[in-house]
Amino acid sequence: MNLPHARDLGSDDIARTRLHVQPPTGWLNDPNGACRIDGVYHVFYQHNPAGPDHSNIHWGHASSPDLIHWTEEPIALTPTPGSIDEQGCWSGCIVDDGGVPTAVYTAVHDGPHNAVVGLARSDRTLRRWLQDPVGKIGNPDDPSIAEVRDPFLFTHGGKRYAVQGAGHPYGSPQLLLYSCDDLESWTYLGPLLTIDDPIAASVAPANIWECPNIFQLGDSWVIILSLWRQIDAYHQLFGVRYLVGDLVGSDGDELGFVARAGGTVDDGDTFYAPQALVEPDRVLLWGWAWEGPHRSAAQIQEAGWAGVLTFPRELMLDGDVLVSRPATELSGLRTELLEPDEDGTISAHTFEIVASGPVELVLADPTTGFRDQVVRTNGPGRILVDGSIIEAFGDGASTTTRHYPTATSRWQITSSADYQVWTLN
C-alpha cells in the first residue's frame, strides 16, 4: 500500500502527513533498523498499533525504492508473551549478517531496568521475522548503570562492534562498547565514552544517553546521542547532540573515543532519537518528530495517531561542524511552482520553500486573529511542509517542529529575498 495514496483516500485530517512515513493509526516513535537491502530502503519504527500512546511497542515497517515512494509493510516485530520482549520491542538496528537481515534490538521483559539485546532474523524481503527467545546480553555488573538500551552496530579495523546507550536516572550517562563479530557471542569491553570527556560533559549533559549512532565522515568519527534527563519524579527528553572526534586505540578494550567538538543535531522542539544509515557515499538520517506543545493529549486521543518520521536528510562535516540537508532525492517531489498571494499567503497542504536569503513561515487564521511564527532561516535555505510537520534547513542547520493547520488557517511566507514555492506530490 502506497502511503500517500492511502491517506488521500482515507483521511480528512489535514494535520496528517501525505509524504512522510507515518502509520495509518496509533503511536510512532524512534526510527529503527534503517537499512538498504538489495537496492530497497527500509525504515522501521517504534509503533503501538492499538492507540496513540507509548505502550505495547512493536516494530512498524515501511520500504521504498527511491526515498520518495513509501509502502507500508506488515508489522515486523511483535512483543511475545512470556518471552524476553513481552513488554516491548524497543529500539535497535538492522545488519546484513552474512546474507541474513538481522534486527538487533532492545527486548524489554519487565521494564527498562531489565532489558536485554534481542535478535530477530528475516529473509531478503524483511517481511517475515523470527524472533530469538534468548537474550544475548543484559546490564553490565556496575551499580552506576541502571539502564542500558538501543544497540547500534559499526565496524572498525575489520571488526564488528556495538554501542549501547546507558546511565542511571540519578547518575551519569555512558556509551558502552561490545565486540560482536558473532551476534551469538557478545563481549563487554567497557565504556567507549563517559561524561568525564569535557566536551561530552559540556555538549551532552544527561542522566542516560539514548539511541546512540556512531559512524565515520571523512577522517573523523561522529557520535550522535539523545539526552534523557530525570527531573524530579519525571523524565524528560532534551534533544539530540553530536560529538566529532577520533576513535583511539586499535582493538577491543583499548578502543576509546576522544571528542574535539560537538553541537546540536537539530534545534527544533520536536526532534529526537534519530537513526543513521551509513551508505558507501553518504550518511542518511531519520528522526522522530513527536506531537508538540500545540496539540493537547485530548486532541491526540481524538485523532487516534501520534508521531511521524522526518524526511531523510544527508549529513556532512563542515570542518568539525555537523551539517545536514534534505536527501537529494527529495527534489523529485516537486511538481509545480505555486504563486503566493500578495501578502505571501498560500493554502497548500504539502509544499517546499526555496529562498536565496532569510525566510519566515507563519501559520495564521484570519477568522480568529491567531498568528504563530513557525520557523525562520537565518540565511539561504529550504523549508519543507507536510501537514503538521515542518523541516527547515539553512546554513547547515536544521529545525524540526510541529504546527497544526485547520480548515480556516493559512500559511504565510515573509522574506525580503527571492524565493520559490513548490507543491510536493
Grade residue 12 by pLDDT with cuts at 50, 70 and 90: confident
pLDDT, average across residues 322-338: 97
Examine the residue annotation and report whether 30 is marked as an active-site residue of this protein.
yes
The band of 111, judged by pLDDT with boundaries at 50, 70 and 90, is confident
**DSSP letter string, 376-417:** EESSSEEEEEETTEEEEEETTEEEEEE----SS-EEEEE-SS
**Count of all residues that appear for the chain in the document:** 425
Banded model confidence at residue 223, pLDDT cuts 50, 70, 90 = very high
- State mean pLDDT over 121-130: 98
Domains of the chain: 20-310 (2.115.10.20), 331-424 (2.60.120.560)
Amino acid at the residue 11: S
- Give the pLDDT score at 4: 38
> How far apart are the C-alpha atoms of 309 and 287, rounded to whole Å?
6
pLDDT at 173 over 90: yes
Q: What is the pLDDT of residue 254?
A: 80
The pLDDT value recorded for residue 6 is 35
Catalytic residue, chosen from 8, 12, 13, 30, is 30
Report helix, strand and coil shares of the chain as percent, to nearest 5: 10, 55, 35
Across the range 253-262, mean pLDDT stands at 91
Least confident range from 89-98, 109-118, 236-245: namely: 109-118
Percent of the chain with pLDDT over 90: 91
What radius of gyration, in Å, describes the C-alpha atoms of the chain? Answer: 21
- Average pLDDT over the chain reads 94
